[in-house]
Amino acid sequence: MRKTRENHADHLPPGASARLRGLVLLFSRPVARFLHVEAASGVVLLAAAGLAVLWANSPWATSYVDLLHAPISIGFGDHSLSKTVHYWINDILMVLFFFVVGLEVRRELHEGVLSDSRRAAIPVAAALGGMLVPALLYVWVDPNLPVGRDGWSVPMATDIAFAVGVLALLGNRVSGAMRILLLSIAIIDDIGAIVVIALFHTADLALEGLAISGAGVALVLIMQGIGVRNPLLYVVPGVIVWAGIVSTGVHPTVAGVILGLLTPVKPWFGRETFLAAAEQALSDFRAKDRHARAAHEIRPVLDRINLAQREVIAPVTRVEMALHPWVAFAVMPLFAFANAGVPLGGVDLAAHGATEVALGICLGLVIGKPLGIVVFTWLAVRWTGGGLPQGVSWPGVVVLGCLAGIGFTMSLFLGSLAFDDPGILAVAKMAVLVASLIAGVAGLVLGFTRLPRKYGGGPEPSEECAHMETTTFPSVAEGRVVTT
C-alpha cells in the first residue's frame, strides 16, 4: 500500500521538489487561467499597442524608433541576413501568422463551414459585404486621390483577436452560433486579405523567384509523397519557398499561406487503426517490460505508441494547435508593438490627402463593415430561402458587423503595405486605432442594449450550425483550441 501511495502521490518526477513545484504552480496557475480566457489574446494585443503609443509619445520616443530600426543579423561563413527589428517582425514573423491562416483555410475547406456550400452561404456573403462596402466607401471619399489609391484595402480587414475578445465581454447575450459566425467571417476575411496582398501589393514579378519558390513547393510535395511526417523537416523547403517569394517581389507573407495550404489535412491513423496500434503496442510493452534490462530494449515499442498518438490527428490540425499560442501571444503582440506607435504630435491632417485617407478608413471600418455585413447577410438569406441560424438574430448580426470593424493589427499591416509616405502612413495608423476603438465601443453598447440575456445555459444550434457547434475550432484569434 505504501509503495502504491509513493508511486502515485503527486506524480512528481524523480528528484523534483514538491515544495518548489508548489511555489511555481502558485504563480503559474493564474497566468494559465488568464491565457485560457477568450479575451486574453485581445488584452495582450491591447497592452502591446498601448505600450507602443505611450512610448512613441514620451520623452524617450527616439529610443522606440531606434529599437525598431536596430539591425539583427544571422548567418554562417560569408552568407548572412541583416535586417531591422521592424523587418523581422513585419516580413518574417508575420509569415508565421499567415502560415497559420493558411492552415485554418485548408482545414475549413476540408471539414469546416467552407466545405459545404449551404452552410457557407451566409458567412461568405457577410464577409464579402464586409470587404466590398468599406473599400467602396473609402474610394467614394475621394476617388481621384493618388496618395491613397491603395488605401482602400485598409478598412477591409478585421482583427479577429480583438473582435472575439470584445464579443466575449457580452457574456450570456452571445450564442455559440454568433461566435462561430464571427470566426467564419474572419477566416474568409483573411482569404480576402491574402488575395489583396498577392494582387495589389506586389512589385513587378521576377521569374527567377517563381522558379525558386516552385522548387520549394515541389520539394514539399516530394517529401509528402515519400511519407515524411515530421513538421520540422519541412522547415528547409519552407525557407526555399519564402526566399523565392521574396525574390519575386510578392510580399513574403504569401509564402506562409502557400505552405499552410499544402499541409496534409487527413490523419494517417483512423479511429480503429489507432486503437489497434495502441493496444498492440501496449501489449508488447507489458511483455517486454518484464524482461527488458535497458531502456533501448523498450524504445521501439514506445516509438510506436508515440507514432499512433501523433498520427491520429491530421497534420494541419496538429501544427495549428502547436503554433496558436505563439502566434496569439507573441507574434501578434510584437506586430502591434512595432506598428501602433504613432507619434500623435507628428500626425498632420492638413497634409495633402491626409484628411481623405483618415475619413475613408474611419467610414469604412465604422460604417462600411456593419452595413456591408448586414446587407449581404440579408441578401444571402433571401437568396437561399432559409433564415438566420438559430441563436443568431438581426440585432446580433448588427453587433457582429460592428465588431468586425475592429481592424487594428490587420488594418495596420495592410496600411504598412499601402502607403509609402511616412506622414500618410502615420495618419492611416491613427485612423485605424480611432476607428477600431469606435467600432468596439459601438458593438459593446449595441450588444448590451439590444441582445437579451438568454444563453447562460448554452446555445441550441440549428441544423445549419450543428456541424460547426460540435467541431473543434483552433483559431489564431484565441490562441487556443476552442471546442463548442
pLDDT class of 274 with cuts at 50, 70, 90 = confident
Alpha-carbon distance 98 to 212, whole Å? Answer: 20
Of the listed ranges 12-21, 403-412, 414-423, the one predicted with least confidence: 12-21
Residues in the chain: 484
| CATH of the domain spanning 40-202+251-267+313-483 | 1.20.1530.10
Q: Which three cell numbers stand for residue 3?
A: 509503495
Q: Give the mean pLDDT of 358-383.
A: 95
Alpha-carbon distance 107 to 152, whole Å? Answer: 29
pTM of the entire structure?
0.75
pLDDT at 26 (0 to 100): 65
Alpha-carbon distance 359 to 142, whole Å? Answer: 10
Give residue-wise pLDDT tens across range 389-416: 888 999 999 999 999 999 988 899 999 8
Asked whether 69 and 341 are in contact (CB, 8 A), the reply is no
How many CA atoms does the CB half-sphere of 79 hold within 13 Å? Answer: 1
Alpha-carbon distance 400 to 442, whole Å? Answer: 10
What is the DSSP secondary structure assignment for residue 342, as one 8-state letter? -
pLDDT at 111 over 70: yes
Q: Where are the domains of the chain?
A: 40-202+251-267+313-483, 271-308
pLDDT at 205 over 80: no
Of the listed ranges 76-85, 336-345, 460-469, the one predicted with least confidence: 460-469
Higher pLDDT, 148 or 40: 40
Identity of the highest mean pLDDT range in 24-38, 88-102, 111-125, 361-375: 361-375
Mean confidence (pLDDT) of the chain: 81
Asked whether 353 and 424 are in contact (CB, 8 A), the reply is yes
Higher pLDDT, 473 or 127: 127
* Cβ contacts of 273 within 8 Å, gap of 6 or more: none
Q: Which three cell numbers stand for residue 357?
A: 485617407
Q: Give the mean pLDDT of 247-252.
A: 81
Nearest to 434 by CA among 335, 345, 358, 348: 358
pLDDT at 121 over 70: yes
pLDDT at 481 (0 to 100): 38
